[in-house]
Amino acid sequence: MAKRFIDTEIWKKKWFRELPPKLKNTWFFLFTNCDHAGIYEVDLDLMNFQHGQKVTEEEIRSHLGDQIAVISEDKWYLTKFVKYQYGDLNPNVKAHQSVLKLLEKYNIDSKGLLNSYEPVQDKDTDIDKLKKKHKLKKDVGLKSITKQMLVDLQLIHKRVNVASEFEKFKDYLASKGKHYKDYHAGFRNWLKSEFVAVDTSAYETLARKIKMNEQSVERAKIEKQIKDEEIGGPPPEFIKEIQKLTRKTNVTVKE
């Protein structure tokens, strides 16, 4: 079942407000029965049956002429539909590609509907970021699950004691003689399985502490950098410029 965006302010718009009641119904019928590119296959008999009032093609063209373009005898195009439903069309977006194909099929100019956006990329999930951070590869062994990786997983799975679950995971592998090509993926799936004990409070606190510790370490690095810069004095480039300006005088500038 298709869903459409609708302007909740439409009842205040002058063009809509001045329509006779049966033409208001007609507009909603067209809006909800056109395809995803705003193209309506004309069927006045069905339209009149659906809203129980007779509306002629002449009435529709007279009252909705600014909203509808006639493609052929049996095809109409809702001129503002695409812009309102999608904004600017992007040829790199799959949902927009089919719209552009339909517009092209019926020789509808899409220039004013296009944008110049770069190809859309999905945002990285927490797991995607984790994979990039640890540069995970195929056939990674159990020993490659480091303490830092466990810390990062703890930040994602806030209601689970990740370190404890890792020990259980290793015991399970040993008892069952189980092996994985990718132990990282195996352990991530373990954390989402029914074997895992979930705590609704304790490990949220633990995750916050880890995050705060990371922020403290980063803050300490920045403070150290600032302090080192202060101790080191002005940069060499600044010293050289001062020396040039003071050569004609007998002022000595210490580096």
pLDDT tens, position by position, 110-126: 776 655 444 444 445 55
Weakest mean pLDDT among 30-34, 132-136, 234-238: 132-136
Mean of pLDDT values over 230-236:
57
Q: What is the 3-state secondary structure (H, E, C) of 147-180?
A: HHHHHHHHHHCCCCCHHHHHHHHHHHHHHHCCCC
Higher pLDDT, 17 or 195: 17
CA distances 172 to 3, 168, 169, 186, Å, are 47, 6, 5, 12
Residue type, 223: E
Does the pLDDT of residue 20 top 90, yes or no? yes
**What's the confidence (pLDDT) of residue 59?**
92
Q: Which phi and psi (to 5°) does residue 28 adopt? A: -65, -35
When pLDDT is averaged across residues 130-135 and rounded to a whole number, the result is: 56
Query: CB under 8 Å to 15, separation ≥6 — which residues?
Result: 66, 67
56, pLDDT greater than 90: yes
Question: Letter for the amino acid at 83?
Answer: K
- The mean pLDDT value of the chain amounts to 76
Give just the sign of the alpha carbon dihedral 222, 227, 232, 236.
positive
Q: What is the pLDDT of residues 184-220, one digit of tens each?
A: 778 788 777 766 766 655 555 666 666 677 777 776 7
Q: Which pLDDT value is given to residue 34?
A: 92
> pTM for the complete prediction?
0.44
Average pLDDT over every residue of 63-89: 88
Confidence of residue 253 (pLDDT cuts 50, 70, 90): very low
Instruction: Give the pair of three-digit tokens for residue 119.
Output: 């190809």
Report the C-alpha gap between 111 and 61 in whole angstroms. 25
Tell me the CA distances in angstroms from 149 to 95, 98, 145, 220, one per residue in order: 37, 42, 6, 22
Q: Residues 103, 109, 111, CA angle at the centre, nearest 5°?
A: 110
Predicted pLDDT at 142: 76
